[in-house]
Amino acid sequence: MNLDRLVAGLDIGSAKTTAVIAEVVGDLPKHPSVNILGVGQARTTGLRKGVVADIEETQRSITKAMQDAERMAGARVETVYAGIAGEHVQAMTSKGIASVTGHEITRADVDRANAVARAQPIPQDRELIHAIPQEYTVDKNQGVRDPVGMIGTRLETEMYLVTIGSSPAMNLRKAVERAGYRVGELVLEPLASALSVLTEEEKELGVALVEIGAGTTDLAVFHEGKIRHLGTIGFGGINVTSDIVHGLGVTALDAERLKEQYGAAYEPLVKPTGEVIKLPSTGAQGEREIPRELLAHIIHLRTQEIFEMVLRDLEEHHLVSKLAAGVVVTGGAAAQPGTDLLAADVFGLGARIGAPGELLGGLADSIQSPRFSVVTGLVQYGAHRVAINGSQGKGRRLSLSNAGPSMDSMAQRFKTWLQDWF
């Protein structure tokens, strides 16, 4: 185990906190991969719809998940790549223009254009976390992916800027720091999921990634290899559980158990064969039984409603026609049988369940589930950071904003990688 090549991902969800520790291996810096060394999980009680509502409770969840992962890995980490999501996330497109100093466009020309695009006024209550170049225009030649070496006099860049609320970000960092760790970077969760479950072919053709978490459902749309749209729906797996609670008269814990053991997101999968489910008895109600198709009916209706809200978002932004590769559903709720079939019905497109798997070694079999898509993407993000920056010492982050002249080439490699990946 190389301690200088350890990376840790931390997914603080509304229902569960998940930590993964991995070692960066493979052909560095071009083709990094990760060996999963440790996985830890804890119940989350301090978040609401993806936002920290109780720092102390969130800290306890982080501590347990991280310590479990460290024990399994046999090593301690100091820095984590943490996911963030929620309805406070906003994105916009910005353009930057630079005149070309010579006949041939250089990396310095590209950096000047990107700097202009990034120099958008950000309100004090918001924080920029991702600035992703989309494409370039050389004179009147549009759709250029890498203009370096081309001949022209005017270079224009189109950049996708992602901002988050400052307060949610600060509270999340504070909870992590109280647990004894440092946040190397905050990474938008749907982008992290995209790294772990989407193929390059899907992103090129056009694909919608729908991540159904406990508190929210996040949407990321890719087309022609680049991120084109982000969205958040304020409903998720917790709402499905709540419907079961009210529909069947059971506790939230029992509802979760029933959902996991007997649930299905696509009602036609559960044929009326007379199969019944015993419900936990109470003093007032005694022993009860329900047909299994009733449980499937409840789950189907709420999941369908969530997909329909996502579809409305796609239609409002005129994106449905650009999804040649269809829809990929991931997140904890995607594990319900028939989720892909229901998605195909609602969206009228091909659909599949996205789960981590590629470029993973070590204990990879322990995270090959949709519920681990975010945290796996976070360690893959960290792996590319290590590949670009070299050994970071247990995940120590190299700040590009303060890099001097000796770090120019390293910073450029990162910028190019970020563009290619998102």
Is there a domain that residue 395 lies in?
A: no
CATH of the domain at 118: 3.30.1490.110
Is there a domain that residue 27 lies in?
A: no
In whole angstroms, give the CA distance from residue 183 to residue 394: 12
Edge to edge, what strands does the sheet with 90-99 contain? 90-99, 154-165, 126-138, 141-144
Amino acid at 239: N
How many independent structural domains does the chain possess? 1
Give the tens place of pLDDT for each residue, 41-83: 999 888 887 788 899 999 999 999 999 999 999 999 999 999 9
Is there a domain that residue 318 lies in?
A: no
Is there a domain that residue 97 lies in?
A: yes
Is there a domain that residue 350 lies in?
A: no
Is there a domain that residue 241 lies in?
A: no
In whole angstroms, give the CA distance from residue 117 to residue 97: 8
In whole angstroms, give the CA distance from residue 202 to residue 224: 9
* CA 359 to the chain's CA centroid: 17
In whole angstroms, give the CA distance from residue 72 to residue 256: 27
Total residues belonging to the chain: 422
Q: Take residue 345 and report the two structure tokens written for it.
A: 């019905």
Nearest Cα to Cα of residue 43 among 23, 55, 57: 57
In whole angstroms, give the CA distance from residue 40 to residue 422: 28
pTM for the model: 0.87
* Position 385 confidence tier, pLDDT thresholds 50, 70, 90: confident
Is there a domain that residue 125 lies in?
A: yes
* Position 284 confidence tier, pLDDT thresholds 50, 70, 90: low
Phi and psi of 34, rounded to 5°? -130, 145
Residue that the structure tokens 């022609």 belong to = 224
Nearest Cα to Cα of residue 183 among 169, 173, 171, 191: 173
Is there a domain that residue 100 lies in?
A: yes
- Give the domain extent around 154: 90-164
Predicted local confidence at residue 364, as pLDDT = 81
